[in-house]
Amino acid sequence: MLRGKGWGISFFDEMTGQDGAVRAPYRDYADWFGREDAARIQRKAQQAEAFFRTTGITFNVYGQDEADERLIPFDVVPRIISASEWRRLSRGIEQRVRALNAFLHDIYHRQEILRAGRVPTELISRNEAFLPMMMGMDPPGGVYTHISGIDIVRTGADDFYVLEDNARTPSGVSYMLENRETMLQMFPELFAKISVREVSDYPLNLLKSLAACAPPACGGTPTVAVLTPGIHNSAYFEHSFLADQMGAELVEGHDLRVVDGRVAMRTTQGYTPIDVLYRRVDDDFLDPLNFRTDSLLGVPGIWDVYRAGGITIANAPGTGIADDKALYSYMPDIIEFYTGEKALLPNVPTWRCSDPDQLKEVLGRLPELVVKEVHGSGGYGMLVGPAATKKELAAFRAKLEANPRNYIAQPTLSLSTVPIFTRAGLAPRHVDLRPFVLMSPRGIRITPGGLTRVAMTRGSLVVNSSQGGGTKDTWVLED
């Protein structure tokens, strides 16, 4: 039985379940695996690594003295989700994304949820991700969250939780697509044996979804471009990959300028207007005339074009407040306020360290909690209490006492495990899941599965690639 244990916690394994018997979604795979030669699978795993390296599927790590560019570890054992499990997850994800979009419209217009006292006003007014310049603005099609990534964890057969929301510039979809392509090349016989839902249509769906959000100034077929900060950005591979897959231009700030009230990109025939800009640049760097004056990544004057309805920016400026981990703790209230329904996918219980009573409880239970920065990402700046040393706990205690508003805390969850392939056979490792959601005036589309991130180190609960985590192909089974 593949059940992990750590810090006195027993973990649910998605392949073998509670009693050690292979669970239904994995039966066909387990039957195939049991007849396979381990040496062949090992060779295939090495081929997959070589493919990733040759293709250039890497990411950059900031603040490292060693080589910046790293290969994300890829494991050849898929994570498998049944059709019924996926239907349940999809309903909860769609409900959440609709509520997030409604919340963003509200806080940049009438702020009814603040008037109703369901979310504290200071959580918005003092939030660095809140963009006052968006007040009264209506993005084309009424869409703020064009692309979302909702991180989900599992703790039991029927227990799923949303860990966090990514509505600013969620990343990782290129790895989801390349993982599937790699598995198709390495093990084509598996896909002949097992009916797995496709993910390869994501780039086309992304292009259609973005085009459906074209601004009023668009007079014909929308022109879509991807704005990247450049080759030194940690997710540059993804920026170039998605632009190529969509058939869209990959541009940097210096490739763009405002011409006759439109944002235009430089081409061999001169400057051509852009209708939709899928930006992978943070708000502060979008326009040096209206935001950070030292920005070399954005386009001078793009904000004025945006306000005049001359371009769609995806995701809309100001959506970053939906990523705020302090706001996350209010999501059940936000969902109920805008949908009239209870949240279909629950939150992880969360302590807001800005509250003195909750801070006191966190400090008293620090060795058993996970503490995160409110605006943190990539696994940086967080504390996993059960795995921390006394020195690390003392240092983090000082940070909490000095700036409690910057942190939230959560219990250490018994995250589910999925087997990885090792030289010694299958071994359990902790995972999470990031499904990707596209929103347009035509509706919401959720790619079946998403990116499974896996903690490659035994016992680790940190799945972020920047902290040594890897990825898996995620299979959603057909009915």
Note the pLDDT tens digit of each residue in 326-340: 899 999 999 999 999
What is the structure's pLDDT at 447?
Answer: 97
Whether the per-residue pLDDT at 457 is higher than 90: the answer is no
**What fold does the segment set 216-310 form as a domain?**
Rossmann fold (3.40.50)
What is the structure's pLDDT at 65?
Answer: 46
What is the structure's pLDDT at 91?
Answer: 98
pLDDT per position as a tens digit, 145-158: 999 999 999 999 99
What is the structure's pLDDT at 378?
Answer: 53
Stretch 406-424: mean pLDDT: 91
Which two tokens mark 146?
């064009």
Whether the per-residue pLDDT at 464 is higher than 90: the answer is no
- Top pLDDT among 130 and 58 is at 130
Whether the per-residue pLDDT at 193 is higher than 90: the answer is yes
CATH 3.40.50.11290 domain locations along the chain: 216-310
Of 59-73, 131-145, 337-351, where does mean pLDDT reach its minimum? 59-73
Of 384-393, 436-445, 465-474, where does mean pLDDT reach its minimum? 465-474
- DSSP H helical ranges for 372-462: 390-402
d(CA 408, CA 354): 8
Q: Tell me what the pLDDT averaged over the chain comes to.
A: 91
Whether the per-residue pLDDT at 466 is higher than 90: the answer is no
Q: What is the percent of the chain where pLDDT is above 70?
A: 93
One-letter amino acid at 178 equals E
Helix (H) or strand (E) holding 237: helix 236-246
Whether the per-residue pLDDT at 346 is higher than 90: the answer is yes
Among 355, 352, 354, 331, smallest CA distance to 342 is for: 331
Q: Band of the pLDDT at 467, cuts 50, 70, 90?
A: low
CB-based burial, 327-342: b 16+ in 10 Å, e otherwise: bbbbbbbbbebbeeee
CATH 3.30.1490.270 domain locations along the chain: 349-412
Q: What's the CATH number of domain 349-412, 3.40.190.10, 3.40.50.2300, 2.60.40.2240, 3.30.1490.270? A: 3.30.1490.270
Q: Band of the pLDDT at 2, cuts 50, 70, 90?
A: very low
**Dihedral in degrees, nearest 10, Cα atoms 242, 244, 245, 250:** 40
What is the structure's pLDDT at 33?
Answer: 95
Full 3-state SS string of 300-337: CCHHHHHHCCCCEEECCCCHHHHHCHHHHCCHHHHHHH
**Helix or strand or coil: residue 376?**
coil
Helix (H) or strand (E) holding 51: helix 38-55
Which two tokens mark 29?
């795979």
pLDDT per position as a tens digit, 422-445: 988 899 999 999 999 999 999 999
What is the structure's pLDDT at 88?
Answer: 97
What is the structure's pLDDT at 172?
Answer: 92
Stretch 181-188: mean pLDDT: 95
Number of H helices and number of E strands within the chain? 14, 24
DSSP 296: S
